[in-house]
Structure 1
Amino acid sequence: MFKVIRRAWRYLVFALSGRLDELSDPRVQIEQAIEEAKERHRRLSRQAAAVIGNERELEMRLARSVEETERLQANARQALLLAERSRAAGDERKALSYEDSARAFASRLVAAESAQQESRLAHERAAQASAQARAAVETNAMALQKKIAERMRLLSQLDQAKVQEELNRAMSDLSGLTPAGETPTMDEVRDKIEKRYARALGEAELTSGSVEARMIEVERAAVDAEGAARLEAIRESLNADRKPEVEK
């Protein structure tokens, strides 16, 4: 039973994630990916800064350790010189005191040199880590720049895709491939106009073949004949008027 529930849950998550991918705006997804890459670069830069800061701190500590060993070595040397001078002056007790001081400085010098060696090793390890951190930041910066350039290309391609989709829909509307909706297609309008034109031609053909149409034609022919006869009479009258003038 538990396996069935888990399988159903995985199927539901997969189905919802696929549906979410279909509904998501690619432009928003691109910006989300770029922002995530920028945040990852910021985290890496902060970590690299901490590693480099640790290197700098160890470097300062090593410098202090070197100064301390040099100071202790100089003090031990100075104590031995003072002991020799005191012994040469015949003051053995003072000479022994200086020698004790020299031994104390020498003991401290040994401890300081040991600490200096440890600081040197720690600084070398920190320097390697710092170099790796710098290289990682530089590599990630180059990858981020590539992502930003890819974003510009993808956004341009997305705009071109939208324009092409609009053009495809427009061409589909013009060709009548889209299903009829509230707005009729060009093919539907053309069919309606041709149907009305054909009906009008049919009605005209029926009207021209009827008795009333023949009667109108006969009446029109009679009127035309009468007009022609009237025009001939007017012409003959004009000719008759011209003859007396010619005889004179």
Structure 2
Amino acid sequence: MANPFSKGWKYLTASLDSKIDENADPKVQIQQATEAAKKQHQQITQHAAAIIGNKKQLEMKLDRLLASQKELQEQTRQALNAADQAAAQGDNTKSSQFNNTAEVFATQLVAVEQQIEGAKQQHTQAAAAAEQAEQQQKQSEIRLKEQLSQIDALRAQADQAAMQETATEAMDSMNALKPDTSVPTLDGVREKIERRYADALGAQELTQSTVGDRMAEIQAAGTDMKASARLAEIRAQMGGGNQLTAGEAPGPSEEASPEVPAEEKPDQGAPGQDKPGQDKPGAANGQQ
């Protein structure tokens, strides 16, 4: 069973790391990523340099051993030649000494040749490792350049995001500002002016309507007076046309019609009529 304390500690650590990542400055994280990439490339470069340096060291050792081999071979030859010359001269002691010296040189030569073989094997391995390290260093350099270019793009995006956040905060601050209620707003002043202008237009319209009504009444009164006068004139003309002149015989329609008593005849409002109760219109015409 897992330890609750250890489990809780891991949870708190993970939660703290998450909070730190959320609240961390992107530019700081970009700088950390840049330093990490450069450090990794530096480590790879140093490792490759060490491997290549080992190869170079083996090459120098091999060159030194080859030089020793050549020198020992020459010394061995010289010792053998000296031994041969001493033997030819009958000096066996010197010949023996030179032979012993040649054997020493030969022993040293064998040891040097063994070292040369081991150095060659080591150099072959070191050369392969150096080639691989050099390739890794080149790949690391290319990868570092790509990361640096991406880091530059991330820096630009971070700057743009910071500018956008600043603009958003400024807009929020502006929106949070409340207008001063003690100072009239332009909309309120405009509404007041428009209301006063509309009231003035309405009053002017009412004034014009009242004057027009008075003028219309005056014109109507004049028209009524003219119409009344004209109506009286037409009635007078009609009354004069219907009256019979003295000695004129009545028409067939008048003979056929029954005689209406004077009391039942309607009043004729024609001008020149003296008595409303006359029986015959002809008598009235004769009196005029």
TM range (shorter): 0.5 to 0.7
Once residues 173 and 43 of structure 2 are traced to their aligned partners in structure 1, the CA distance between those partners, rounded to angstroms, is 53
Structure 1 residue 59 and structure 2 residue 33: aligned?
Answer: no
Aligned to 1:38: 38
Matches within 5 A, 1:1-248: 3-162=3-162, 182-184=176-178
Percent of pairs with identical residues: 32
Write the deviation string for residues 184-232 of structure 1: whole angstroms up to 9, x where unpaired.
Answer: 49xxxxxx876786688779989999xxx89xx7xxx8xxxxxxxxxxx
Residues 64, 180 of structure 1: CA spacing in aligned structure 2 closer, same or farther, 3 A cutoff? closer
Once residues 113 and 193 of structure 1 are traced to their aligned partners in structure 2, the CA distance between those partners, rounded to angstroms, is 105
Write the deviation string for residues 149-172 of structure 1: whole angstroms up to 9, x where unpaired.
Answer: 1112222233344455667778xx
**Structure 2 unaligned residues grouped into runs of 5+:** 180-184, 212-288
Write the deviation string for residues 123-160 of structure 1: whole angstroms up to 9, x where unpaired.
Answer: 22222222222222111111100001111222223334
Once residues 141 and 125 of structure 1 are traced to their aligned partners in structure 2, the CA distance between those partners, rounded to angstroms, is 24
Greater helix share, 1 or 2? 1
1:115 is displaced (CA, Å) by 1.4
Residues 201, 6 of structure 1: CA spacing in aligned structure 2 closer, same or farther, 3 A cutoff? farther
Residues 86, 25 of structure 1: CA spacing in aligned structure 2 closer, same or farther, 3 A cutoff? same
Kindly name which structure, 1 or 2, has the bigger radius of gyration based on alpha carbons.
2
Once residues 19 and 90 of structure 1 are traced to their aligned partners in structure 2, the CA distance between those partners, rounded to angstroms, is 99
Once residues 41 and 174 of structure 2 are traced to their aligned partners in structure 1, the CA distance between those partners, rounded to angstroms, is 53
> What is the aligned length?
205
**Structure 1 unaligned residues grouped into runs of 5+:** 186-191, 222-248
Tell me the amino acid that sits aligned with residue 111 of structure 2: A
**Higher RCO, 1 or 2 (CA under 8 Å, sep at least 6)?**
1
Write the deviation string for residues 47-89 of structure 1: whole angstroms up to 9, x where unpaired.
Answer: 2222222222221111111111111111111111122222222
| TM-score, with length taken from structure 1 | 0.66
